[in-house]
Amino acid sequence: MKIWAKVMVKDKIRKDVVLDFEDTKTFTFLQFKQLMQDLCYKLDISTPVILKSHYEHFIQFNRVKFLPRDFIEQVDYTSLVVEVGYDKKKATFSTFGF
């Protein structure tokens, strides 16, 4: 599956990155934290404080949005959006099977 992360300033994408992630039936909180660290490293931004509610929102809606209040450091963007992307090879949207 593809994971798409976007650094947004108002409604415009400042930076984005797409990562391939192995589609598994079980996606744990620790895997989500590692995924977020990898995405933030690739985007060259600080990693937000990741709560269980962020993980649950990502599992339920295949999307999570981090606001500046979710970061310890001050950021110069309005949001970080992470969502499950479209996989052209499978011709379906990837889900975690929950």
Separation CA 97–CA 13 (nearest Å): 29
Per-residue pLDDT of the chain (98 residues; tens, 9 = 90+): 789 999 999 999 999 999 987 766 778 899 999 999 999 999 999 999 999 999 999 999 999 999 999 999 999 999 999 998 766 665 454 555 54
CA atoms within 13 A on the CB side of 65: 8
Cβ–Cβ < 8 Å for 46, 72: yes
Helix extents (H) in 1-98? 29-43, 52-61
pTM of the model: 0.81
